[in-house]
Chains A and B, each alone.
Chain A
Amino acid sequence: MKAKRWLLPAIATIVVVALAVIYYRFDPAQGGGWFPQCALYKFTGLRCPGCGMQRAAHALLHGDITGALHYNALMPLIVLTLFICIFNEWRGDRNGRLWLIVTHPVTSFIILAVMIGWMILRNLIGC
């Protein structure tokens, strides 16, 4: 049980460090066909809420905060939300305040609304 409990953080750390090394070393903006691409953008030309996050990660790892926000302005918020949600599920404390906030129906509704709103906005103003 204990081993299983530490499996997720261990894997997550390894994955995050590996991705950080890759995105520091290589720049997705320079092309290089092996970076994952967005199917939606490919087929429709529309940017999804997550588009630009790889380039933003590269910029951020090189200390270029404005550049990162330029690629995907919501990236810090999205990464933080993702981290909190997964941390909450891993912790699993159903009586904790964090669980009550994260699992509240309004929370997921807001996240959905922000995501869709962000997608519409960025395609309208082209950022």
Chain B
Amino acid sequence: MQQFWINQDGVQQGPMTLDQLRQLGVKPEAYMWCTGMPDWLPVAQVPEVAALIGEAQNTKHEERSDEPISEPAPGQTDEAAVEAPQLPAEDEQPAAMPDLPQQALEPAQPQYQPQQPMPQQAMPKMPPTNLGWAIGSMLLCCIPLGIIAIIYSNKVSTSYYNGDYEAAERYSETSAWWCIATIVLGIISQPFLSLLTM
């Protein structure tokens, strides 16, 4: 039996059979990979899977298979089932950025090495952007260094929403350090500024 892996809405699932894929519901913008394929492809380019696109909506309610996979629970909306299938049952909010448990962060088999078309991990917690502190340090200490802190704060969100969580983490730290540096420099420069006035 051929095994399929699918990546849609930023979540990778698999292995599953064609039947299970049909039950899950395949979105036209999803990527998929199966054993024997050199690389991930948009589902539209894989004929056997492309046939499943949109089919789920029609068949979903009539046929209910006896093998329960990836729990598209009855009653749950189609959207929610696809969006958060790796969440434990107790928190079922299809939130934009769920705090996923640690095991959800581990990528499923097979590890996908080349070119990575999509983030294959679930989203980790967003690091603080330190925007407030950046603005504060910029104004209170009156040094354009604070501008650098704001720029790094901006980079935190940019890289986080682009799926580069490691970079976001790094920039968050960098922006925090710029805030501290700005504040410290602002404070130690005060006595010298007072001397200049005299």
Which residues of A does B touch, CB under 8 Å?
33-34, 36-42, 48-51, 53, 78, 81-82, 84-89, 92, 94-95, 99-100, 102-105, 107-109, 111-112, 115-116
Please give the distance in Å from B194's CB to the nearest CB on chain A: 5
Offer 21 A-B interface pairs, CB within 8 angstroms, sorted by A.
A34-B194, A36-B186, A37-B190, A42-B193, A48-B142, A48-B144, A49-B138, A50-B142, A81-B135, A82-B132, A82-B136, A85-B132, A85-B133, A88-B132, A94-B97, A94-B126, A95-B96, A103-B126, A103-B157, A112-B147, A115-B150
Which B residues are CB-close (under 8 A) to A84? 132
User: In the complex, which residues 85-129 of chain B have their Cβ closer than 8 Å to any Cβ of chain A?
Assistant: 93, 95-99, 125-126, 128-129
CA distance A42 to B197 in the complex (A): 9
Please give the distance in Å from A83's CB to the nearest CB on chain B: 8
Q: A102-B131, A112-B151 are in contact. Are A51 and B136 (CB under 8 A)?
A: no
Q: What's the dominant secondary structure at chain B's contact region?
A: helix
Which residues of B does A touch, CB under 8 Å?
93, 95-99, 125-126, 128-133, 135-136, 138-144, 147, 150-151, 153-154, 156-158, 160-161, 186, 189-190, 193-194, 196-198
